[in-house]
Structure 1
Amino acid sequence: AFLCGDDAISRAVLEKSLPRLKVISKYGIGLDKIDIPATQEFKVPVLFTPGVNHTTVAEHTFGLLFAISKHIVTTAAAARQGEWLRLTGHEIFEKTIGIVGLGRIGKEVAIRAKAFGMEVIACDPYWDEDFAAAHGIGRRASVNEVLTDSDVVSLHCFLSDETRGLICRATLETMRRGVIILNCARGEIVETADLAEALHSGRIGGYGADVLDQEPPPQDHPLLSAPNCVITPHIGSRTYESVPRQAMKSLTNLINVLNGEGDFYCANGVR
């Protein structure tokens, strides 16, 4: 069995591991580093742990939003250097936040946004009308509508062929000037060069991300030197509360499959 985090499980890895490999248990929910079609072909179940870190990631999303909208990182660093840099920030009250992907994490972000008095719009291919109605969330028919109608865009979608490079020069040009973009999903959802250019030009107000297209990034990564950009090292799901939940669920999934028990979360439909 494999118990993996963000390890790359390619077709080549799978082929070398067969026939001994019986199951892959993912510590987390992102599956983009695993060759899912190959696991289906080889009849290897891929397990994952939905529902264990959504609160933690949603909280981190707002940490990034406040860091940018209130200039917290910049002014705190200046104060440490003896400079009393009193920059003017923005309220988030009555601003529109657009959520791309209204799954578990997106829903937690929506709940917190409403508590802060924000207008919430969203899109998701698996729309939960009951949740949206209960929390006053406006549905948009497409991602592009969310991008154009938002003061803050928060990305909570899976990385796929459809979402790779979603935030690029073309979509950035349709967004409101000064928009803040938050990414606690996957770094490859944005085109790094286009985003860095938009930050340097002032076209967008800021970018807060817990993920990059290269992790760890090289020292000359364009976003590390871009203005109004806050990057954290993929720690959004790492809290003393969530880490034990993820570990326990990934191990429980693995043990249950090996014991022939049915209580586990399968991501690739192989049982």
Structure 2
Amino acid sequence: MKVHILDDWFDTLRTLPSFAALDGHEVTVWTDHVTETSTLADRLKDAEAICLFRERTAITADLLARLPKLRLISQRSVYPHVDVAACTAHGVVFCSNMGKQGPSVAAAELTFALILASARQIPQQMASLRAGTWQMGVGQSLCGRRLGLYGYGRIGKAVARYAEAFRMEVVWWSSETGRARAVADGAQVAESRDAFFVEADFVSVHVRLKPETQGIITLDDLLSMKPTASFVNTSRAGLVEEGALMAALEAGRPGRLALDVFEKEPITDPDDPLVNHPAVIATPHIGFVTEDELNSQFAEIYEQIVAYAAGAPVNVINPEVLGAAEAE
């Protein structure tokens, strides 16, 4: 098959062990990001299969209408960027592994790195040193401080294990069912949602973005936090009420933000007010961007291509396409 891989910005995937799964296929890797539909359609005009790199490129009805040779789209995890109905209408099989994968160690590690960086003001201290002014302030020790984890899932649990190694107090909040699971596991759940935010020294959110979780973290939640506290988000920007982060910064509650995700990505404005705010530590959505994580994720994506080519597709989101093909 003619397989195209989109948005591999650093040409990493072909260097990883999992890439060997595509031996025997004609593979094209695109290392830049294109949003204009006609340009993208021209690039992919001969593609029979497309591998998506997370949610970097939207698959729209307009684009699919211009790709008559396309038979398969393969990716991993959630798919708000893919028009599944349009895939079905154009006879394109859409595969995405939605199974219970192990926790993203990379995302959990970055989360805790941001917690440490915020507590010890590492970027600000580095800037002060480079400016010749030596120290710029006094940081916080993590030992004995309260970490509030919002969302009782796999990544949050991994972060909790790191926090416990630092002898932090870990307190949870989640949906009603999530809180019930936490209690059953013997974890400490906050007395109330309000108490969760008010009493935490650090709050980190680990919730999957869905229509019902859009804006789940409100401005009032942030304003209730201590002026000495930090809010960390390595999940999705849409989990936070639009505009709430800048409003919270202006109010000084919480005192610091540590962010890996943003409302509009990528951010290319060097003067972006959120990224440049002195109380913000920001990274460019690198929570999953490690060689190890990409190798694991794309092994699953390639497996779906190999299975389709062998006539036994797996993880099909729109199986009605397969039924239509058999009817023909």
TM range (shorter): 0.7 to 0.9
Secondary structure of the residue aligned to 2:243 is: helix
Aligned to 1:252: 303
Which among 82, 87, 95 is matched to residue 46 of structure 1? 95
Tell me, in whole angstroms, the C-alpha distance in 2 between the residues paired with 1:177 and 1:86: 18
Secondary structure of the residue aligned to 1:241 is: helix
Tell me, in whole angstroms, the C-alpha distance in 1 between the residues paired with 2:150 and 2:166: 19
Aligned to 1:123: 174
Cα 1:42–1:113 shift into 2, 3 Å: farther
Cα 1:15–1:179 shift into 2, 3 Å: farther
Aligned to 1:153: 203
Aligned to 1:25: 74
Deviates more, 1:120-129 or 1:64-73: 120-129
Aligned to 1:208: 258
Tell me, in whole angstroms, the C-alpha distance in 2 between the residues paired with 1:122 and 1:260: 44
Quick check: 1:183 aligned with 2:226?
A: no
Which among 101, 107, 111 is matched to residue 157 of structure 2? 107
Amino acid paired to 2:77? I
Secondary structure of the residue aligned to 1:223 is: coil
Alignment of 1:157-236 (within 5 A): 157-191=207-241, 193-217=243-267, 218-236=269-287
Tell me which structure has the larger Cα radius of gyration.
2
Aligned residues: 266
Tell me, in whole angstroms, the C-alpha distance in 2 between the residues paired with 1:148 and 1:56: 29
Q: TM-score, normalised by structure 2?
A: 0.69
The percent identity for this pair of structures is 29
| 1:165-223 deviation line (CA, Å, top 9, x unaligned) | 33342332333443311111112223453312322332212111111112221334221
Tell me, in whole angstroms, the C-alpha distance in 1 between the residues paired with 2:88 and 2:195: 35
Q: Per-residue deviation at 1:243? A: 2.0
Quick check: 1:241 aligned with 2:292?
A: yes
Amino acid paired to 1:138? Q
Q: Per-residue deviation at 1:257? A: 3.4
Tell me, in whole angstroms, the C-alpha distance in 2 between the residues paired with 1:257 and 1:115: 44
Cα 1:253–1:194 shift into 2, 3 Å: same
Asked if the contact 1:2/1:23 (under 8 Å) is kept, the reply is yes
Amino acid paired to 1:89? G
Cα 1:241–1:38 shift into 2, 3 Å: same
* Structure 1: runs of 5+ lacking an equivalent: none
Aligned to 1:58: 108
Tell me, in whole angstroms, the C-alpha distance in 2 between the residues paired with 1:37 and 1:125: 32
Q: Per-residue deviation at 1:237? A: 1.0
Cα 1:80–1:176 shift into 2, 3 Å: closer
Give the root-mean-square deviation of aligned CA atoms.
3.1
Cα 1:13–1:249 shift into 2, 3 Å: same
| 1:151-175 deviation line (CA, Å, top 9, x unaligned) | 2211221222232233342332333
Tell me, in whole angstroms, the C-alpha distance in 2 between the residues paired with 1:25 and 1:142: 41
Tell me, in whole angstroms, the C-alpha distance in 1 between the residues paired with 2:312 and 2:176: 31
Cα 1:259–1:99 shift into 2, 3 Å: farther
Tell me, in whole angstroms, the C-alpha distance in 2 between the residues paired with 1:78 and 1:154: 27
Tell me, in whole angstroms, the C-alpha distance in 1 between the residues paired with 2:123 and 2:297: 29
Asked if the contact 1:180/1:205 (under 8 Å) is kept, the reply is yes
Cα 1:102–1:15 shift into 2, 3 Å: farther
Q: TM-score, normalised by structure 1?
A: 0.82
Secondary structure of the residue aligned to 1:31 is: coil
Q: Per-residue deviation at 1:29? A: 3.2
Cα 1:39–1:180 shift into 2, 3 Å: farther
Secondary structure of the residue aligned to 1:107 is: helix
Aligned to 1:3: 51
Cα 1:223–1:37 shift into 2, 3 Å: farther
Asked if the contact 1:100/1:143 (under 8 Å) is kept, the reply is no
Q: Per-residue deviation at 1:247? A: 2.0
| 1:9-53 deviation line (CA, Å, top 9, x unaligned) | 2343344446x5443222x53433223565577784331376366
Q: Per-residue deviation at 1:63? A: 0.7
* Structure 2: runs of 5+ lacking an equivalent: 1-48, 323-328
Tell me, in whole angstroms, the C-alpha distance in 2 between the residues paired with 1:254 and 1:187: 31
